[in-house]
Structure formats: structure tokens, C-alpha cells
């Protein structure tokens, strides 16, 4: 979230590399985090509904919602 706030929207492939280096996560874990953040309204779900998850070319961006948790 900090990176998105500083840089704006980023492509998933950039986010996954950063997370893998910083947090010792697998790519599937990063995808799950993105899905959870979208469900919480923190980022926009730009990859579609259902059981879909982001892929390398998916643009990840902060939610446009003005709701604050």
C-alpha cells in the first residue's frame, strides 16, 4: 500500500517482484494479498470477479473509494 501511495498504479509483475524480495512470499501469496486488499476496499479489483486473481499485466491501483476504515 505504501508503494501504491507513493508511485500510483503499478503493474502486478512489479509488485510481485518487490514482495518476493522483501517478504519471502510466493507469487500465489501476493495474488491472495491483492484479492484480500480488493475485498477490503484498499485497492481496485482490476482483474475481474469470481475466483480470478491478478496476473503479470494487471494494473494494481489504490481504490477510488472515499470510505475510510
pLDDT value at 27 more than 50:
yes
Q: How far apart are CA 16 and CA 59, in angstroms?
A: 12
Domains delineated in the chain: 2-60 (1.10.10)
Cα maximum dimension of the chain: 32
Rounded mean pLDDT, 10-33: 90
Greater confidence (52 vs 51) lies with 52
The answer for residues whose C-beta is within 8 angstroms of residue 39's C-beta and 6 or more apart is none
pLDDT band at 65 (very low <50, low <70, confident <90, very high): low
Q: DSSP letter string over 14-59?
A: HHHHHHHHHH---HHHHHHHHHHHHHTTSB---S-STT----TTPE
Amino acid at each position: 500500500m505504501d508503494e501504491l501511495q507513493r508511485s500510483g498504479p503499478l503493474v502486478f509483475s512489479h509488485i510481485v517482484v518487490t514482495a518476493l524480495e522483501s517478504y519471502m512470499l510466493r507469487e500465489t501469496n501476493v495474488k491472495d494479498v491483492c484479492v484480500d486488499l480488493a475485498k477490503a476496499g484498499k485497492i481496485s479489483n482490476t482483474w475481474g470477479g469470481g475466483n480470478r486473481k491478478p496476473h503479470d499485466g494487471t494494473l494494481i491501483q489504490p481504490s477510488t473509494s472515499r470510505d475510510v476504515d
